[in-house]
Amino acid sequence: MEQKRFNLNSLINRVNEFNKNNNFNQKQNIMKKSILLLAVAASFAACTQNQEINDAISQQEIKFDQVLNKTTKAEITDKAALAKEGGFAVYGKKTPHAGGDAYWVFNGTAVTSTDNGANWGYAETQYWDKVATYNFYAAAPYNANIAFDKTSGLFTFSNVTWGKATEVAYDYLIDRNGATVNAAEENATKYAVAFEFHHVMAKVDFKVMTTIEGVKINKLVMQGWNANEATFAQVASATNLGTDTWTAIDCSEWKMEAETLAGEVIVSETSTTITKNADPVAYGETYIMVPQNIAALKFIVDYEIAGEPFINQPVTLASAWGTDSHITYTLNIGGGSDPINFTVNSICGFDVNPGTEDPAVNVKP
């Protein structure tokens, strides 16, 4: 009986050991399956994350750049100057290729630069719609009195007046024709939208020269133009000129607030000696002026020739200050002066009058 009891206990121990091992294996299998599921889940998560990143990369930002034309050399002559003055304003709409109403993506958005115009940015980044066409319009400086007509795509500047070129507030810029981008075209959205800015004002400066010796200019005054505030209105074409080759800015309209020729400014009161037959030299300030036609622009000049003063000498001429134009007046001091000359009409002989003859002289032998 003892032998049988031993065998039974042994059998029970083996059964317990088997169950114990079996439970361990089951737990181990469950852990393996769990690890595998976690790996698969992680794999799906990784794929999803990569897909989102790829979508973000393909959704390209709408960026802007500008190229300043060199027609005039007013204060805003390069990107750095434009950046310093607060950048430019952009209006831009997109039109779906499948039809539908245009959507204005940019509504006078300020485009600015923090690296002297090397790169330009704006708040609330917009992205290209790859199945749309975009039309962009730009003007500067951003803080100017700018109005934009979304129907015509044309700008208006108000309360415009004249001033020194060193005072940027008087310089206004506009993109000549706007920019059109078909976002579906290859590489169309890979580059910044580039604007070409032109000046709507006129630049006026002065030079002096002489063709005679001993000339010194002491003062130059300009007067006779309309110095009142004006309004600039961009127009679409020049149909009244009988040609369609003119661009919008060339045909822009200026309207004066009052038609009075009250302008006067002292260009300079610096005494400057001028070398005979030398190249013209700059004299006085440079001004940014409201474009206009002037029937009688007058210059009043004080100068000297060999130390002799010539005061309030007038020069009057008709002038035209066109949009986006650079006018330089070169004054030939003394070149048009009338010298005081002398001549001899004749040399008269000695006249012999009656009764004045010498008396006869008698000579004795």
Give me the CATH number covering residue 279: 2.60.40.2630
Is the residue at 181 inside a domain? yes
Parent domain of 41: 1-51
Is the residue at 339 inside a domain? no
The structure tokens 């133009």 sit at 225
90, 217 Cβ separation under 8 angstroms: no
Residues 172 and 110 placed together within one structural domain of the fold: yes
Helix residue spans in 59-178 (DSSP H): 79-84
Q: What is the pLDDT of residue 281?
A: 95
Residues 117 and 179 placed together within one structural domain of the fold: yes
Query: In this predicted model, what pLDDT tens digit does every residue of 33-50 receive, in sequence order?
Result: 333 322 323 332 333 232
Residues 269 and 303 placed together within one structural domain of the fold: yes
Position 324 confidence tier, pLDDT thresholds 50, 70, 90: confident
d(CA 266, CA 221): 4
Is the residue at 207 inside a domain? yes
267, 220 Cβ separation under 8 angstroms: yes
Query: In this predicted model, what pLDDT tens digit does every residue of 80-102 receive, in sequence order?
Result: 888 888 899 999 999 998 877 89
Residues 35 and 88 placed together within one structural domain of the fold: no
Is the residue at 256 inside a domain? no
Chain-centroid distance, C-alpha 183? 26
Total count of domains within the chain: 3
Is the residue at 180 inside a domain? yes
Q: Model's pTM, two decimal places?
A: 0.70
